[in-house]
């Protein structure tokens, strides 16, 4: 093949090389959106450029014609590729369907068929000849009819593409100006080249500059596409992002009218864009969102609004940002509404959950180691009620193993009347149903009382009667037994009780269960401790008494032995004296004998006393009236009492029961007490008043001897019942009287005690158990 | 004038001084008195003759006064026995009364009381010739 060199073909070669390089470059980045269309475009440019280069370079006409035909392949496909790319590039990918592409391709395919069969019909080229008049031989053709058709069609498609590019450039906002500039170059270069080509000006007469234009355009676009990431954001993505984004976007101009909005905004505002655009922003936003745009637009930029629709609430985050023109002049405002309902719900759930945990921790810390349980329970009921939005909360305890109600705690919200007074009857009447449910560990959750089923009419009536709109009851168990329940009520409106309410009540019921279990066991321990202390005291008392008794028994044994030994000699002495008195006549001797006899009798009396103290025998128990015993003693002493000026006042309880006792022994006791009082009062005042009282105190008969004598000093008081302890003058007392009394009362399983204040008097108190009461009669 | 037989009394007591003082007092009153120091002595002496009255101490060496009382009763059911005792015991008294002692006297007591008791017993016997039970309380 003959080859000729010229500078024009070189230009085509450069365009070809560049476009092939671009093809390779694009191929490596073919995943970028729009890259494939760009690749096809560059391929057509390459075919055109290379074809042009080979046409210009070859010498023979037939060869030139062949390359011209090859060139035509690129020329025909290029407009479609350009248009496709431009559409994709400017975000109109939707328009570009397969069917449309095929439709667009129909004409170029016809062109190609006509080109290749031109020799038969000359429709494309009427005449082709070699023009050697120029610096190098050129293929010159007279254009046929179809050439013009094809040219028109091509320019039409290219123009649309260029139009799209220019429009995208105009629309592009300032941050994207560089990219837009690239777009402009990409759009204008082919246009300019094409115009140059058509102008037939030198040096362009000899060649078609259009592919070179496309090469420049390709370079620019490749730079924008891959280096400036033109396609990523602008304008293809940018428009679609705004169109498809879930956030509503409303553009408002400086005169506060809506200029633009995206589909999401249409949906939220509930009107098509055609109706909203041009409307005052205030009307639109206030009508649909109940949001005062005017008052908010200046100060607030970031706020939350709630839109209620069909009982559901939607939360929006509203952002208002100013739009400035290049010269910093305010061009309008951009309102963006983001649906944050889900976010809000999650946030609410978390907040609620935190509140729940806080409430639980407050309640549990309050009920641990608490002393005032009631106060803690009331406070906790308040926490629970407030947390769950209830108007009343109750805690109710059931008595163990019994029917009825043990105790109720109630909390009422402000302005809600308490019904604690009615609760007892309330649960008593409807008890069986509630209790059966609760015992089965069921939770009673009535969201809306008015929706209660037929079978629960009784309960529904009850609830209606008290105006309760919804109810929630959770049982509590102690040692696996139903111990009570916690309940929430709402009088205002139906309440959908949530699982978190349930958890709260469950936890509270559990805490209460264990708190009360603990409190009960603490109380039981305290009780047991108190009893133990009491028993301890009693033990100490009886130990002291036992020691006293043992002391007495030992002394008794000693005395009894001594006394018996003394009895016989005393009897002999007194007998002898008695005998001698029968025959001694001397007065002085008789006096001595009488003195001897008297003192012997006294000794006998002492021994007798000693023996009666030492005597250890069970009292002879008969039903006796203590009042009778006392009266007999007073009678016995009435003469001496009168003589000594002692007044006796008796306050004897006529209802005093009879008891099993030894009458003479008790006589001895009371006689002793009477004589002691008598002597004490006589010695200090020469007169006195003795009060004798009897009464029933519990299971004992209490007898008190209250005198107004001188009283007994403390140090004596503690020894008063000890044997041989006496304060009387020598010869006047044995010191055994009270210890004998003590012994007798002990044998009667009773108590004798003394209280005294010096100068005021003394009280002797005898307590006797009421024995054999079932047999005995009440006097 | 017919000689009136003097009434005979046996005094049983292990204490010689007591025995003697009681015997002396009774003799002063004109009774014939025989003393015995214990149960065997007393039973021996009653075997030979009968007494009009017996003062019997309840606590005796060898055998108790209550046993002696039973035996005396079986030999001479009509002889009244007055129990002398140093023991204040209701149960003892009850047993003694069941065994037909006529009286119960607590020691120590004055000799006057003993002679008075003897006089009363024996004058009654003289009149009615029958055994009676008389409960006399020690006044002290």
Asked if B28 and A582 come within 8 Å (Cβ–Cβ), the reply is yes
Q: Which chain B residues have a beta carbon less than 8 Å from that of A575?
A: 18, 21-22, 25, 110-111
Confidence of residue A695 (pLDDT cuts 50, 70, 90): very high
Nearest CA distance, A731 vs chain B (angstrom): 18
**Rounded mean pLDDT, A449-455:** 78
Which SS3 state, helix, strand or coil, does residue B19 take? Answer: helix
**Rounded mean pLDDT, A565-580:** 89
Q: Which chain B residues have a beta carbon less than 8 Å from that of A569?
A: 17
| Sequence-ordered list of residues with C-beta below 8 angstroms from that of A326, at least 6 positions apart, any chain | A174
Q: Which chain A residues have a beta carbon less than 8 Å from that of B18?
A: 568, 571-572, 575
DSSP state of A95: G
Asked if B28 and A568 come within 8 Å (Cβ–Cβ), the reply is no
What pLDDT sits at residue A2?
A: 60
> Which listed CATH number (3.30.70.920, 3.40.50.300, 1.10.3720.10, 1.20.1070.10) goes with A7-237?
1.20.1070.10
Closest chain B residue to A605, measured at CA: B140
**Rounded mean pLDDT, A429-452:** 78
- Under a CB-based contact definition with an 8 Å cutoff, are residues A144 and A122 in contact? yes
Q: Which chain B residues have a beta carbon less than 8 Å from that of A572?
A: 15, 17-18, 21
- In residues, how long is chain B? 140
Question: Which residue is associated with the tokens 């009773």?
Answer: A750
Name which residue leads in pLDDT, A275 or A174: A275
What pLDDT sits at residue B127?
A: 39
Q: What is the dihedral of CA A472, A478, A484, A486, to 10 degrees?
A: -30
Among the partner-chain residues A568, A608, A612, the one whose CB lies closest to the CB of B17 is A568
Q: What's the whole-number average pLDDT of chain B?
A: 79
**How do A646-652 and A688-697 pair as beta strands?**
parallel
Among the partner-chain residues B88, B90, B110, the one whose CB lies closest to the CB of A575 is B110
Confidence of residue B137 (pLDDT cuts 50, 70, 90): very low
In tens, the pLDDT along A617-647 reads: 556 788 889 999 998 888 878 888 888 888 8
Residues of B with CB under 8 A from a CB of A: 15, 17-18, 21-22, 24-25, 28, 86, 88-90, 107-112, 140
Which of B27, B108, B116 should be substituted to probe chain A, the one whose Cβ sees the most A Cβ atoms within 10 Å?
A: B108
Asked if B25 and A578 come within 8 Å (Cβ–Cβ), the reply is yes
- Under a CB-based contact definition with an 8 Å cutoff, are residues A434 and A444 in contact? yes
Which of A561, A570, A575 should be substituted to probe chain B, the one whose Cβ sees the most B Cβ atoms within 10 Å?
A: A575
In tens, the pLDDT along A39-62 reads: 888 888 888 888 888 887 787 888
In tens, the pLDDT along A69-120 reads: 888 888 888 888 888 888 887 777 778 888 988 998 898 899 889 888 888 8
Q: Which CATH class name applies to A618-769?
A: alpha beta
Name which residue leads in pLDDT, A763 or A494: A763
**Rounded mean pLDDT, A750-774:** 85
Question: Measured at the alpha carbon of residue A643, what is the angle toward residues A639 and A645, in degrees to the nearest 5?
Answer: 120
Q: How far apart are CA A688 and CA A708, in angstroms?
A: 6
- Give the range among A12-26, A316-330, A533-547 with minimum mean pLDDT: A316-330
What pLDDT sits at residue A161?
A: 85
In tens, the pLDDT along B36-83 reads: 998 899 999 988 888 999 999 888 888 888 888 888 888 888 888 998
Side-chain-facing half-sphere of A610: CA atoms under 13 Å = 21
Nearest CA distance, B107 vs chain A (angstrom): 7
Which SS3 state, helix, strand or coil, does residue A33 take? Answer: coil
Q: How far is Cα of residue A281 from the mean position of the Cα atoms in its chain?
A: 44
Q: Which chain A residues have a beta carbon less than 8 Å from that of B24?
A: 579
- Helix (H) or strand (E) holding A128, with range, is strand A125-131
- Exposure string over A414-429, b if 16+ CB within 10 A, otherwise e: eebeebeeebeebbee
Closest chain A residue to B113, measured at CA: A575
Nearest CA distance, B41 vs chain A (angstrom): 21
Q: What's the whole-number average pLDDT of chain A?
A: 80
Q: How far apart are CA B111 and CA B104, in angstroms?
A: 15
Q: How far apart are CA B64 and CA B12, in angstroms?
A: 12
CATH fold of A370-497: Beta-Lactamase (3.30.450)
Asked if B111 and A578 come within 8 Å (Cβ–Cβ), the reply is yes
User: Is the per-residue pLDDT at B108 higher than 60?
Assistant: yes
Tell me, yes or no, if A599 comes closer than 8 A to chain B by beta carbon: no
User: Is the per-residue pLDDT at A429 higher than 80?
Assistant: no
Q: How far apart are CA A592 and CA A601, in angstroms?
A: 14
Q: Which chain B residues have a beta carbon less than 8 Å from that of A620?
A: 90
Among the partner-chain residues B25, B88, B90, the one whose CB lies closest to the CB of A579 is B25
Q: Which chain B residues have a beta carbon less than 8 Å from that of A607?
A: 108
Considering A303-317, A583-597, A723-737, B118-132, the range whose residues carry the highest mean pLDDT is A583-597
In tens, the pLDDT along A206-247 reads: 666 777 777 787 777 777 766 665 554 344 555 677 777 888
User: Is the per-residue pLDDT at A734 higher than 70?
Assistant: no
* Fold match, A245-339 / A618-769: no
Q: How far apart are CA A609 and CA A606, in angstroms?
A: 5
- Under a CB-based contact definition with an 8 Å cutoff, are residues A7 and A207 in contact? no
Which of A569, A570, A571 should be substituted to probe chain B, the one whose Cβ sees the most B Cβ atoms within 10 Å?
A: A571
Q: How far apart are CA A578 and CA B84, in angstroms?
A: 19
Complex-level ipTM beyond the 0.95 threshold: no
Among the partner-chain residues B86, B90, B112, the one whose CB lies closest to the CB of A578 is B112
Q: How far apart are CA A374 and CA A364, in angstroms?
A: 14
What pLDDT sits at residue A779?
A: 37
Closest chain B residue to A581, measured at CA: B112
Confidence of residue A692 (pLDDT cuts 50, 70, 90): very high
- Give the range among A195-199, A525-529, A737-741 with minimum mean pLDDT: A195-199
In tens, the pLDDT along A172-207 reads: 655 556 666 776 777 778 778 877 777 766 555 666
Closest chain B residue to A583, measured at CA: B28
Task: Kindly list the domain boundaries of chain B, sorted by start residue.
Answer: 8-128
What pLDDT sits at residue A589?
A: 92
Enter the tokens of residue A519: 């409190």
Q: Of B132, B34, B27, whose CA–CA distance to B81 is shortest?
A: B132
**Rounded mean pLDDT, A510-515:** 81
> Which listed CATH number (3.90.1150.10, 3.40.640.10, 3.40.50.1360, 3.40.50.2300) goes with B8-128?
3.40.50.2300
Superfamily of domain A245-339: PAS domain (3.30.450.20)
Enter the tokens of residue A247: 């956030």
Confidence of residue A264 (pLDDT cuts 50, 70, 90): confident
Q: Which chain A residues have a beta carbon less than 8 Å from that of B22?
A: 575
What pLDDT sits at residue B138?
A: 36
Q: Which chain A residues have a beta carbon less than 8 Å from that of B109?
A: 571
Tell me, yes or no, if A568 comes closer than 8 A to chain B by beta carbon: yes
- Give the range among A128-142, A252-266, A288-302, A591-605 with minimum mean pLDDT: A288-302
Among the partner-chain residues A567, A582, A620, the one whose CB lies closest to the CB of B107 is A567
Asked if B86 and A572 come within 8 Å (Cβ–Cβ), the reply is no
Q: Name the percent of chain A lying above pLDDT 70.
A: 85
Task: Kindly list the domain boundaries of chain A, sorted by start residue.
Answer: 7-237, 245-339, 370-497, 618-769
Q: Which chain B residues have a beta carbon less than 8 Å from that of A604?
A: 108, 140
- Helix (H) or strand (E) holding A774, with range, is none
User: Is the per-residue pLDDT at A132 higher than 50?
Assistant: yes
**Rounded mean pLDDT, A648-667:** 89
User: Is the per-residue pLDDT at B129 higher than 50?
Assistant: no
Q: How far apart are CA A581 and CA A378, in angstroms?
A: 97
Q: Which chain B residues have a beta carbon less than 8 Å from that of A601?
A: 110
Q: Which chain A residues have a beta carbon less than 8 Å from that of B111?
A: 574-575, 578-579
């Amino acid at each position: 093949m003959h080859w000729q060199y010229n500078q024009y073909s070189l230009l085509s070669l450069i365009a070809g090389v560049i476009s092939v390089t671009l093809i390779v470059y694009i191929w490596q980045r073919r995943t970028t959106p729009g890259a494939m269309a760009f690749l096809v475009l560059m391929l057509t440019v390459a075919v055109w450029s290379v074809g042009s280069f080979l046409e210009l370079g070859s010498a023979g006409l037939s060869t030139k014609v062949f390359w011209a035909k090859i060139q035509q392949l690129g020329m025909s496909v290029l407009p479609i590729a350009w248009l496709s790319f431009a559409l994709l590039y400017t975000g109109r990918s939707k328009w570009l369907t397969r069917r449309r592409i095929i439709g667009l391709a129909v004409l170029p395919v016809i062109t190609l068929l006509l080109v290749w069969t031109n020799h038969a019909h000359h429709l494309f080229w009427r005449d082709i000849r070699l023009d050697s008049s120029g610096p190098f031989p050129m293929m010159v053709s007279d254009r046929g009819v179809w050439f013009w058709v094809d040219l028109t069609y091509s320019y039409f498609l290219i123009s649309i593409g260029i139009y799209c590019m220019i429009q995208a450039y105009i629309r592009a906002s300032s941050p994207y100006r560089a990219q837009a500039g690239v777009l402009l170059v990409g759009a204008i270069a082919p246009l300019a080249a094409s115009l140059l080509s058509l102008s037939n000006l030198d040096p362009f007469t000899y060649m078609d500059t259009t592919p070179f234009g496309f090469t420049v355009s390709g370079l620019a676009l490749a730079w924008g596409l891959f280096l400036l990431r033109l396609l990523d954001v602008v304008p293809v993505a940018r428009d679609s992002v705004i169109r498809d984004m879930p956030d509503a976007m409303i553009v408002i101009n400086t005169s506060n009218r809506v200029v633009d909005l995206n589909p999401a905004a249409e949906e939220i505002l509930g009107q098509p864009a055609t109706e909203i655009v041009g409307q005052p922003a205030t009307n639109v936003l206030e009508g649909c969102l109940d949001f005062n745009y005017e008052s908010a637009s200046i100060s607030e930029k970031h706020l939350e609004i709630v839109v209620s629709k069909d009982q559901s609430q939607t939360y929006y985050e509203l952002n208002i940002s100013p739009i400035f023109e290049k010269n910093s002049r305010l061009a309008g405002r951009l309102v963006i509404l983001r649906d944050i309902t889900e976010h809000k719900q999650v946030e609410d759930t978390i907040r609620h959950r935190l509140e729940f945990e806080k409430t639980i921790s407050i309640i549990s810390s309050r009920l641990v180691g608490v002393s005032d349980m009631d106060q803690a329970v009331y406070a906790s009921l308040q926490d629970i009620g407030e947390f769950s939005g209830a108007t009343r909360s109750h805690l109710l305890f059931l008595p163990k193993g019994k029917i009825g109600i043990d105790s109720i705690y109630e909390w009422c919200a402000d302005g809600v009347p308490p019904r604690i007074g009615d609760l007892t009857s309330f649960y008593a009447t409807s008890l069986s149903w509630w209790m059966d449910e609760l015992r089965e560990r069921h939770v009673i959750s009535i969201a809306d009382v008015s929706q209660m089923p037929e079978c629960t009419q009784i309960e529904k009536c009850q609830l209606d009667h008290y105006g309760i709109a919804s109810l929630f009851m959770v049982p509590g168990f102690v040692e696996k037994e139903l111990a009570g329940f916690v309940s929430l009520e709402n009088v205002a409106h139906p309440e959908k009780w949530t699982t978190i309410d349930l958890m709260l009540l469950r936890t509270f019921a559990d805490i209460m269960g264990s708190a009360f279990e603990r409190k009960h066991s603490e109380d039981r321990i305290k009780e047991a401790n108190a009893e133990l202390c009491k028993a301890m005291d009693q033990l100490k008392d009886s130990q002291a008494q036992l020691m006293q008794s043992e002391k007495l028994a030992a002394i008794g044994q000693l005395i009894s032995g001594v006394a018996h030994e003394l009895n016989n000699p005393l009897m002999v002495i007194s007998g002898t004296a008695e005998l001698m008195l029968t025959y001694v006549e001397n007065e002085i001797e008789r006096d001595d004998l009488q003195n001897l006899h008297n003192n012997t009798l006294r000794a006998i009396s002492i021994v007798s006393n000693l023996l009666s103290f030492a005597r250890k025998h069970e009292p002879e128990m008969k039903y006796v009236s203590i009042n009778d015993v006392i009266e007999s003693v007073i009678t016995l002493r009435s003469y001496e009492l009168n003589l000594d000026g002692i007044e006796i006042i008796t306050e004897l309880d006529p209802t005093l029961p009879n008891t099993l006792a030894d009458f003479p022994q008790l006589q001895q006791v009371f006689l002793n007490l009477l004589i002691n009082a008598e002597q004490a009062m006589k010695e200090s005042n020469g007169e006195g008043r003795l009060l004798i009282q009897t009464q029933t105190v519990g299971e004992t008969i209490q007898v008190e001897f209250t005198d107004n004598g001188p009283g007994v000093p403390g140090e004596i008081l503690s020894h008063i019942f000890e044997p041989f302890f006496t304060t009387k003058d020598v010869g006047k007392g044995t010191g055994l009287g009270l210890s004998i009394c003590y012994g007798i009362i002990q044998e009667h399983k009773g108590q004798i005690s003394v209280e005294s204040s010096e100068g005021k008097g003394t009280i002797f108190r005898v307590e006797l158990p009421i024995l054999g009461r079932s047999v005995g009669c009440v006097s | 004038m017919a000689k009136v037989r003097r009434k005979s009394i046996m005094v049983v007591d292990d204490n010689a001084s007591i025995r003697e003082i009681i015997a002396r007092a009774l003799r002063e009153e004109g009774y014939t008195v025989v003393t015995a120091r214990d149960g065997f002595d007393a039973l021996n002496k009653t075997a030979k003759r009968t007494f009009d009255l017996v003062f019997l101490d309840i606590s005796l060496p060898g055998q108790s006064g209550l046993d002696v009382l039973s035996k005396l009763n079986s030999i001479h059911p009509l002889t009244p026995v007055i129990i002398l005792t140093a023991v204040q015991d209701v149960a003892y008294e009850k047993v003694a009364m069941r065994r037909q002692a006529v009286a119960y006297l607590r020691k120590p007591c004055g000799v006057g009381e003993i002679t008075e008791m003897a006089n009363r017993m024996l004058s009654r016997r003289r009149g009615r010739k029958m055994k009676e039970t008389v409960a006399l309380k020690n006044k002290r």
